[in-house]
Amino acid sequence: MPRRTIKTILMETLEDLSDPNFAKFRHQLMDRRAEPRIRRKAVEGKSCLEIADVMVSTFTEAKVVGVAEEILRDIGCNQEADALGEMIIGLTATLEYTVCNTNFIFLKCFRAERFIKSHHQGEKVTQ
């Protein structure tokens, strides 16, 4: 079985969007005001794989999921945003690093399951 990466999961998420929602996603991606910004030429007429590649190289693996989730929620694709987050959590458990709020990566800090359980219960996690 091929190793799944953040880029692959992002690409699969984009492939699952309807054509109108994919167009909205591209538009929102170009219209982001926060830095770094993506230029129109980098995403217009591009495939899901090409857009995922541009996003990962622009935002880095540490931040791309948060950006993608934010855009998905902005265009009303909340289920897709939730599914993306769940797939990333599954990936991080396999790779033994945890994505916290999908914006920061803590390498080899905690197993994802323990971190999530403690995080959701509001407990302080110690090493």
Q: Let me know if residue 86 belongs to a domain.
A: yes
Residue 22 located in a structural domain: yes
- For the beta carbon of residue 87, count every other beta carbon within 10 angstroms: 18
Residue-wise pLDDT for 28-81, tens only, equals 999 988 899 999 999 899 999 999 999 999 998 888 999 999 999 999 999 999
- Is 127 within the bounds of a domain? no
Q: Is the residue at 98 inside a domain?
A: yes
CA 16/CA 42 separation, integer angstroms? 21
Q: Cα-Cα-Cα-Cα dihedral of 67, 8, 95, 58, to 10°?
A: -40
Specify the pTM: 0.68
Number of structural domains (the chain) is 1
| Domain-located, residue 106 | yes
Q: What is the CATH number of the domain that holds 114?
A: 1.10.533.10
Instruction: Quote the percentage of the chain above a pLDDT of 70.
Output: 68
Q: Is residue 111 part of a domain?
A: yes
Give CA–CA dist 48/107, Å, rounded: 28
44 belongs to a structural domain:
yes
SS3 category, 37: coil
Q: In which domain, by residue range, is 22 found? A: 6-121
